[in-house]
Amino acid sequence: MAYLDHAAATPLRPVAREAWLAAVELVGNPSSLHSEGRAARRVVEENRERFGASLQVPPSAIVFTSGGTESDNIGVLGTFRARRRDDAGRRVVVASAVEHKAVAEAVDALIAEGAEAATLGVAADGVVDPAAVKALLAARAEEVALVAVMGANNEVGAVQPVAELAGICADFGVPLHVDAVQCVGAVPVDLEHATTTAISGHKVGGPAGVGALVVRPGALVTPLVYGGGHEGGLRAGTLNAPGIAGMAAAVERAVAEQDAHAQRLAALRDELVAGIVASVPDVTVNSRPSGHPGIANITFAGCEGDSLMLLLDAAGVSVSTGSACTVGIPQPSHVLTAMGASRRAARGALRFSFGWTSSPQDVADCLAVLPDVVGRARRAGLLERGES
Ligand code: PLP
C-alpha cells in the first residue's frame, strides 16, 4: 500500500491530534463572555499567537476560515469588491493560468459581476514571468483591482517568484493574493509582502475544515459572509476552536521541520521519478526538481489518467490526476495545457505527492506495480480505439 496523494490531504500529525483533542470537549462559544466562552476564546487566541509566531506574521493579521478554498475566495472576491467599491474603474483581475479552482472559479464569478480577467501565461516549467506582470501593470495598473499568483502549484509543483511579484505589485500599488496552500512546511513563502495569503489546515497535517487568510494590515478586503462581526468583521461565524488548535500545532511542527522535510521529500520524489523513467517507456516528466519537493507529475503517453489512477488504486497505490470530469467526460488539466501540453497528453498525467508520513517503501511499492499497470492501461486504450 502506498499513499501518494499528500497534496490532496496529508495525515493528521500527532501534535495536531493532541491539540485538537485537548480543545474538542470545550463547551464554550469563543464569542460568549462567561467563563466557558472565555476558555474557548483563550484557545483561539493562544493558537492565533502560535500560528502567527510560526509564520512570522502578527496575530492580528490572521483571519481563521474553513479552509484554503474559503481563504482564496475572501482574498480574491473580497479584495476585488473592496477595491472596486472604492474606485469603479478598477475592474481588472489578473491571475495566473495555473491557479487552483478556488482562485480560478472566484475569478469566473467576478467576470459574471462585470470584471475583466487578464490571464498570466506560464512557461513550459509552469512559472509566471515577472516581466509580463510588470508590463501589464505598467500599462494598466490604474484599472487593476488585484493580482493573484499561487506560491506552489498543486498539480506540477511549480514554485512562483512570489517575493519578486510582490515587489512589482507594491511598486504599482496593486494588491497581491497568494495561494500558499501547498507551501507551508515545504516551500518558503513570503507572507510579509503578499497582501492576502491563503493557508489550509489539512495540507500540513492539521484537521480538515479549517484554514486561514493572512491579511496585511491596511489591506482593503470586504467580507463574503456576514453576521456577528467575528475575525475583525472579515469572516462571520462561530470559530472552530479545536480545528484552529490542531492547525496551529501542525503548522508549528511543519515550519520547524521544513528544511529537513523538504530535503527528505525531494529525495523520495527524485527516486520515484528516476524509477518511473527507467521502468516505463514513453513518459514525460512535467514537474521540475526546482519545484515543490513533494510533487511529481508525469504524463504516460497513450493512457487516460483517470483509468490509470483507478488501476493503481486497485493495486494499493493512491495518486491523483489533474484532470476533472465534466459531465462524465475527462477534461485535460488546465495547468498542463497552460504549460504547453496537448489536450491528449494532459489527459494522461498523474500526480504523485509525498508528505510527512512518506517513506522509501512508498516509492518501492509504487514502482513495483506501475509498469504493469501502465502496460494494461495502454493495451486497454488501444483496444478501445480499435488499434489492436
Ligand atoms: N489551493 C490549492 C493550491 C490547493 O491545492 C487546494 C486544495 O487542494 C486548495 C486551494 C483548497 O484548499 P481546501 O481543500 O482547504 O479548501
Which residue pairs, CB below 8 angstroms and at least 24 apart, start in 47-54? 47/19, 47/244, 47/245, 47/247, 47/248, 47/249, 48/244, 48/248, 50/248, 50/249, 50/252, 51/212, 51/244, 51/247, 51/248, 51/251, 51/252, 53/252, 54/248, 54/251, 54/252, 54/255, 54/256
Residue 44 Cβ inside 6 Å of ligand 1? The answer reads no
Q: CA nearest 247: which of 293, 207, 284? A: 207
pLDDT in tens, 37-94: 999 999 999 999 999 999 999 999 999 999 999 999 999 999 999 999 999 999 999 9
CA distance 307 to 66: 32
- Beta carbons of 325 and 331 less than 8 angstroms apart: yes
Ligand 1 atom with the shortest distance to the CA of 8: 8
Instruction: Supply 362's cell numbers.
Output: 512508498
Q: Quick one: pLDDT band at residue 13, thresholds 50, 70, 90? A: very high
- Beta carbons of 103 and 150 less than 8 angstroms apart: yes
pLDDT at 331: 80
Residue 247 Cβ inside 6 Å of ligand 1? The answer reads no
Ligand 1 atom with the shortest distance to the CA of 102: 10
**Positive or negative: CA dihedral 377, 382, 385, 388:** negative
Kindly state the average pLDDT of the residues 223-227: 95
pLDDT at 193: 82
Q: CA nearest 54: which of 250, 293, 261, 197? A: 250
Active site residue 183: no
Residue 211 Cβ inside 6 Å of ligand 1? The answer reads yes
- Beta carbons of 209 and 67 less than 8 angstroms apart: yes
pLDDT in tens, 139-174: 999 999 999 999 999 999 999 999 999 999 999 999
Lowest pLDDT segment from 242-246, 295-299, 346-350: 346-350
Residues forming beta bridges with residue 148, ordered by sequence position:
95, 177
pLDDT in tens, 111-143: 999 999 999 999 999 999 999 999 999 999 999
Q: Tell me what percent of the chain is helix, strand and coil, each rounded to the nearest 5.
A: 45, 15, 40
- Report how far apart, in Å, the C-alpha atoms of 107 and of each of 145, 169, 203, 227, 260 are: 12, 18, 23, 25, 36
pTM across the whole model:
0.96
Residue 55 Cβ inside 6 Å of ligand 1? The answer reads no
> Measured in Å, how far apart are the chain's first and last C-alpha atoms?
33
Residue 75 Cβ inside 6 Å of ligand 1? The answer reads no
**By alpha-carbon position, which residue is closest to atom 10 of ligand 1?**
68
- Which member of 169, 183, 303, 325 is catalytic? 325
Q: CA nearest 219: which of 46, 80, 342? A: 80
225: how many CB neighbours lie within 10 A of its CB? 16
- Report how far apart, in Å, the C-alpha atoms of 351 and of each of 49, 248, 298, 314, 388 are: 35, 28, 7, 17, 29
Residues forming beta bridges with residue 176, ordered by sequence position:
147
Tell me the Cα Rg of the chain.
Answer: 21
Distance 73 CA to ligand 1 centre (A): 11
CA distance 261 to 292: 12
Q: Quick one: pLDDT band at residue 387, thresholds 50, 70, 90? A: low
